[in-house]
Amino acid sequence: MKKSFAALAAAALATTAAPAFADLTVPNLSYRTGSYAANGIPYADGFADYFTLLNERDGGIGGEMVAVPECETAYNTEKGVECYESTKGMDALAYNPLSTGITYQLIPKVTADNHVLYTPGYGRTSAANGSVFEWVFNYPANYWDGASVAVKYLLNENGGDLAGKKIALVYHNSAYGKEPIRTLEELAKKHGFELKLLPVDPPGQEQKSQWLQIRRDKPDYVLMWGWGVMNQVAIQEAVNIRFPMENFIGVWWSGSENDVGPAGDKAMGYKSISFHGVGDDFPIYADLKEYVFDPGKAAGAGDNLGNVLYSRGMYAAMIISEAIRTAQEIAGHASVTPTEVRDGFENLNLTQERLTELGLPGFAQEIQASCADHGGPGSAMILQWDSSTKKWSAVSDWIESDAEILDPLIAEDSAAFAAESGITPRCN
Amino acid sequence: MFYREAGDFKTSYRADSQTFPIRLDRMGYIAALVVAYAVVPFFIDDYWANAVFVPFLIYAIAAIGLNILVGFAGQVSLGTGGFMAVGAYAVYKLMTGFPEVPFFFHVILAGGVTAFVGVLFGLPSLRIKGFYLAVATLAAQFFLVWLFNKVPWFYNYSASGQITAPDRTMFGIYITGAQTSAVAKYLFCLVILTLVALMARNLTRGTVGRKWMAIRDMDIAAEIIGVNPLSAKVTAFAVSSFFIGIAGALLFSVYLGAAEVGESFGINKSFLVLFMVIIGGLGSIFGSFAGAAFLVLLPVFLKNVLVGALGWPTDVAAHLELMIVGALIVIFLIVEPHGLAQLWRIAKEKLRLWPFPH
């Protein structure tokens, strides 16, 4: 019985592995099932649609078509490993698993196998230090930037003084949710606010006790590091205890239309951080409509156009395609290898002019990567939800993160990783 | 015709009570070992190792461990995920604390630590039985996961609470870490599985195993004929947790490389291993292998067929996969409640009579 399984599986594998070789391959490790599907689907759609647009409109990147084989991880690390192993043989140019747990597993693997891991706004924060993490990139911003930006925004709101204020952090009790704690603790020391930690066990459908605690302690502000169903439940619970929405700020993964939707009108005023613009009024959407949506080539159900997570998936795809383009310029040929794409990521220079050319004027910040800097500018803005128009709008300009606090933390954490895995820092 | 015992004479008690008394079975067993040790390593690549063989071997160890507790000693446990977490965190602390000790001993020691924890949580089994014991072990599951999340000492104060396996070698070959070859991973797990299976088989057919089975079948009667329930139940928990701890240690260090307790060792893992044991067959070593193979290989196989060969969208395939696996579990339990091991036994009975069943 086992034999026949193996034979059949081998036959199935042989048929899958064949097609993708001639193209540039960027696997899409997505999740469209499980408790995180509501957030995984729009992201995966945006990611796939952007590459479809490049293929349909420009004939790929530099004349090479891009293949985006999709692999379902269900946000599960074991399936993530399986997906990585099944796609790495196709000369995969970059991985973007959209899961901090899977990222932690892939960091040593991509380093040994020489593949790029691109984790915009998630993953291991200290990967911003390129001298230790040669194959990992997380620009434009990471969790610690997010925490710092949120605190800076609150400082501005309070005339530069947070002393004596109480800030609660409601977080997904996992590697992802724990990332900002260290930074927030440092910031609490620096600015004299009191930090309260409220872990929510994944997937986070049950948060009554945490919000009861918030009702009792009456913190001035609540920050949230949530994902999937946890976001919707938290916003609903905040509504239930009548917590003022404008004092409730989610990180970029806790601020999509799907998250505020279930609370209806009561979610009015909820804020979230973002490192890119949202909405479908960028010029690129005309092209997307013409080449992707109207011919029926959109990924998934095609109903996520322009929402926050769709834009973010598109952002990741845009950066990866720009890195591939840079790699092609450096290498002087179009069919680049994973190693050449790594150089492309490291020499990426994304300017506002280039963004305008791409049909995304003002969509994101400029990035100038370097050997040591894999973390980007680290600035972000605050969006606010308007439930009457069902739109997010920016309520702040780009806010820079507090490098004075973050740089030593990143240096410390990456030095620990370098010592653990015997890496000698590069870039000197 | 092919599968029979006629002419297979035994001249000693030893030969009569060996694990595979029928020659064809014995040859099949040796052939399986030869294929596993001498053929597979030459053909294995990263995909086959990481997606199919290594998880199968590790889950087989866990299933053997749980089968000893549930199948042989009759003590229902829902704490498997928690005990695997103990193994994983023990091996992590040992690997980072004593890097000079060979990794193999760390795995065994991690099993030992888990055995100790298992005995602690097994003590209530002396007073409570059945569903109530299941609930007590469920408490162990949630307590252990909470503990490893809560106390930073267990994850060496890392910012994210993740544990990452450092690189370790044996005889100059990488066993853990990203540079490990597929062959090394596979062979290391295979050696441990072989040792575990031999040990389990010999324990279960000796005095200890008979005591477990006596307790399982009727504890009062067992006590009357002189079986000490304390030692029988405690040893069952100890041996079972020892194996489960080893499986957890390997799952984290060799297979995943990095783990997070809530995600990798949650309640789902407890149910997964319990399903393996039930589908494979309670009280059967072969059943543990069959159950692990069924639940590890089937999803990978379905995924490759539906997405790879048929080209269906990944979400449709993932949902169908859940439905097919779920339906098969229900069908199996209705058609053959004693699991795959019983199917195998019936097949053998039929083969012995074939082609003249009357």
pLDDT tens-digit profile of B2-13? 777 777 788 888
* C-alpha–C-alpha distance, residues B283 and A2, integer Å: 21
Q: How confident is the model over B306-349, as pLDDT tens digits? A: 887 787 888 888 888 889 888 988 888 888 888 888 888 888 88
Residue B200 covered by a domain: yes
Provide, rounded to the nearest whole percent, the portion of chain B with pLDDT above 70: 99
Taking contacts as CB-CB distances below 8 angstroms, the residues of chain B near A125 are 159
Residue A70 is nearest to which of B263, B314, B319, comparing CB atoms?
B314
Tell me what pLDDT residue B140 has: 92
CA dihedral sign, ordered B131, B136, B139, B145: negative
Residue range B113-139: mean pLDDT, rounded = 90
Check if the beta carbon of residue B225 is closer than 8 Å to that of residue B214. yes
Tell me what pLDDT residue A19 has: 43
For residue A2, what pLDDT band results from cuts at 50, 70 and 90? Answer: very low
Ranges of each domain in chain A = 20-141+280-377, 143-278+380-407
* C-alpha–C-alpha distance, residues A300 and B104, integer Å: 47
| pLDDT over 60 at A17, yes or no | no
| pLDDT over 80 at A263, yes or no | yes
* Helix (H), strand (E), coil (C) string for chain A: CHHHHHHHHHHHHHHHHCHHHHCEECCEEECCCCCCHHHHHHHHHHHHHHHHHHHHHHCCECCECEECCEEECCCCHHHHHHHHHHHHCCCECEECCCCHHHHHHHHHHHHHHCCEEECCCCCCHHHHECCCCCCEECCCCCHHHHHHHHHHHHHHHCCCCCCCCEEEEEEECCHHHHCCHHHHHHHHHHHCCEEEEEEECCCCCCCHHHHHHHHHHCCCEEEEECCCHHHHHHHHHHHHCCCCHHHEEECHHHCCHHHHHHHHHHHCCCEEEECECCCCCCCHHHHHHHHHHCCCCCCCCCCCCCCHHHHHHHHHHHHHHHHHHHHHHHHCCCCCCHHHHHHHHHCCEECHHHHHHCCCCCCECCEECCCCECCCCCCEEEEEEECCCCEEEECCCCECCCHHHHHHHHHHHHHHHHHHHCCCCCCC
Tell me what pLDDT residue A21 has: 46
| pLDDT over 60 at A13, yes or no | no
- Are residues B301 and A85, on separate chains, in Cβ contact within 8 Å? no
Strand pairing of B163-164 and B258-259? antiparallel
Interface of B with A in 161-180 (CB under 8 A): 161-162, 164, 166-167, 177-179
DSSP string, B43-82: H--HHIIIIIIHHHHHHHHHHHHHHIIIIIS------HHH
Residue range A338-353: mean pLDDT, rounded = 90
Residue B191 covered by a domain: yes
Taking contacts as CB-CB distances below 8 angstroms, the residues of chain A near B318 are 32-33, 72, 74
* C-alpha–C-alpha distance, residues A121 and A379, integer Å: 11
Provide, rounded to the nearest whole percent, the portion of chain B with pLDDT above 90: 48
For residue A3, what pLDDT band results from cuts at 50, 70 and 90? Answer: very low
- Tokens for A244, please give them: 């003022």
Tell me what pLDDT residue A22 has: 55
- Tokens for A32, please give them: 């469209």
Tell me what pLDDT residue A14 has: 44
Tell me what pLDDT residue B1 has: 60
Which residues are CB-neighbours of B188 under 8 A, at least 6 positions away? B170, B175, B250, B254
The alpha-carbon gap from A130 to the nearest alpha carbon of chain B, in Å, equals 19
Question: Is B223 touching A (CB cutoff 8 A)?
Answer: no
Residue B320 covered by a domain: no
Taking contacts as CB-CB distances below 8 angstroms, the residues of chain B near A74 are 318
Residue A158, judged by CB atoms within 10 A of its CB (0-12, 13-18, 19+), counts as middle
Residue range B103-113: mean pLDDT, rounded = 94
β partners of residue A169: A197, A223
Interface mutation vs chain A, best among B149, B150, B162, most A CBs within 10 Å: B162
User: In this predicted structure, which of A20-24, A295-299, A326-330, B321-325 has the lowest mean pLDDT?
Assistant: A20-24
Q: How confident is the model over B270-280, as pLDDT tens digits? A: 999 999 999 99
Tell me what pLDDT residue A18 has: 40
The alpha-carbon gap from B224 to the nearest alpha carbon of chain A, in Å, equals 44
Asked if the domains A20-141+280-377 and A143-278+380-407 are classified in one and the same CATH topology, the answer is yes
Confidence (pTM) = 0.88
Tell me what pLDDT residue B265 has: 92
Taking contacts as CB-CB distances below 8 angstroms, the residues of chain A near B155 are none
Residue B283 covered by a domain: no
Coil, strand or helix at B173: strand
Residue range B247-255: mean pLDDT, rounded = 93
Tell me what pLDDT residue A216 has: 93
- Are residues A76 and B177, on separate chains, in Cβ contact within 8 Å? no
User: In this predicted structure, which of A1-15, A274-288, B15-29, B311-325 has the lowest mean pLDDT?
Assistant: A1-15
Tell me what pLDDT residue B347 has: 87
The alpha-carbon gap from B351 to the nearest alpha carbon of chain A, in Å, equals 16
Could you say which DSSP state residue B176 is in? E
Fold for A20-141+280-377, please state it: Rossmann fold (3.40.50)
The alpha-carbon gap from B98 to the nearest alpha carbon of chain A, in Å, equals 13
The alpha-carbon gap from A337 to the nearest alpha carbon of chain B, in Å, equals 20
Provide, rounded to the nearest whole percent, the portion of chain A with pLDDT above 90: 37
Q: How confident is the model over B39-74, as pLDDT tens digits? A: 988 888 888 888 889 999 999 999 999 999 999 998
Q: How confident is the model over A229-251, as pLDDT tens digits? A: 899 999 999 999 999 999 999 99
Residue range B122-145: mean pLDDT, rounded = 89
Tell me what pLDDT residue A211 has: 93
- Are residues B303 and A101, on separate chains, in Cβ contact within 8 Å? no
The alpha-carbon gap from A348 to the nearest alpha carbon of chain B, in Å, equals 27
| pLDDT over 70 at A16, yes or no | no
Which residues are CB-neighbours of B128 under 8 A, at least 6 positions away? B136
Provide, rounded to the nearest whole percent, the portion of chain A with pLDDT above 70: 95
Residue B317 covered by a domain: no
Residue B227 covered by a domain: yes
Amino acid symbol at A207: Q
Which residues are CB-neighbours of A154 under 8 A, at least 6 positions away? A162, A165, A167, A221, A249
Question: Is B317 touching A (CB cutoff 8 A)?
Answer: yes
Total domains in chain B come to 1
Tell me what pLDDT residue B253 has: 92
Interface mutation vs chain A, best among B314, B321, B325, B348, most A CBs within 10 Å: B314
Coil, strand or helix at B8: coil
* C-alpha–C-alpha distance, residues A159 and A176, integer Å: 31
Check if the beta carbon of residue B52 is closer than 8 Å to that of residue B83. no
The C-alpha angle B86, A33, A380, rounded to 5 degrees, equals: 85
Coil, strand or helix at B163: strand
β partners of residue A199: A171
- Give the range with max mean pLDDT: A4-8, A165-169, A255-259, A370-374: A165-169
Tell me what pLDDT residue A105 has: 87
Tell me what pLDDT residue B358 has: 67
The alpha-carbon gap from A330 to the nearest alpha carbon of chain B, in Å, equals 29
Residue B318 is nearest to which of A74, A81, A109, comparing CB atoms?
A74
| pLDDT over 70 at A31, yes or no | yes
Q: How confident is the model over A141-178, as pLDDT tens digits? A: 889 999 999 999 999 888 888 888 999 999 998 888 88
Residue B178 is nearest to which of A12, A112, A416, comparing CB atoms?
A112
Residue appearing with tokens 């040994």: A112
- Are residues B315 and A32, on separate chains, in Cβ contact within 8 Å? yes
- Are residues A77 and B263, on separate chains, in Cβ contact within 8 Å? yes
Check if the beta carbon of residue B57 is closer than 8 Å to that of residue B49. no
Question: Is B307 touching A (CB cutoff 8 A)?
Answer: yes
Residue range A253-279: mean pLDDT, rounded = 89
Residue B348 covered by a domain: no
Domain that holds residue B59: 23-265
Chain A to chain B, count of Cβ pairs less than 8 Å apart?
A: 135
* C-alpha–C-alpha distance, residues A297 and A363, integer Å: 24
Question: Is B92 touching A (CB cutoff 8 A)?
Answer: no
Phi-psi region of B177 (alpha: psi -120 to 50; beta: other; left: phi over 0): left
Taking contacts as CB-CB distances below 8 angstroms, the residues of chain B near A77 are 256, 258-260, 263-264
Interface mutation vs chain B, best among A28, A39, A72, most B CBs within 10 Å: A72
Tell me what pLDDT residue A1 has: 41
User: In this predicted structure, which of A34-38, A299-303, A334-338 has the lowest mean pLDDT?
Assistant: A299-303
Computed over its alpha carbons, how large is the radius of gyration of chain B? 21
| pLDDT over 70 at A11, yes or no | no
- Residue in A closest to B160 by C-alpha: A175
CA of A72: how far to CAs of A29, A257, A304, B307, B319, in Å? 6, 23, 19, 10, 10
Taking contacts as CB-CB distances below 8 angstroms, the residues of chain A near B301 are 5, 8-9, 12
Residue B301 is nearest to which of A9, A37, A111, comparing CB atoms?
A9
Taking contacts as CB-CB distances below 8 angstroms, the residues of chain A near B259 are 77
DSSP string, B285-317: HHHHHHHHHHHHHHHHHHHIIIIIIS---HHHH
Tell me what pLDDT residue B349 has: 84
| pLDDT over 50 at B134, yes or no | yes
Q: Which CATH superfamily is domain A143-278+380-407 in?
A: Response regulator (3.40.50.2300)
ipTM of the complex: 0.83
- Are residues A12 and B46, on separate chains, in Cβ contact within 8 Å? no
Question: Is B305 touching A (CB cutoff 8 A)?
Answer: yes
Residue B139, judged by CB atoms within 10 A of its CB (0-12, 13-18, 19+), counts as middle
Question: Is B194 touching A (CB cutoff 8 A)?
Answer: no
- Tokens for A413, please give them: 């954490």
- Are residues B314 and A71, on separate chains, in Cβ contact within 8 Å? yes
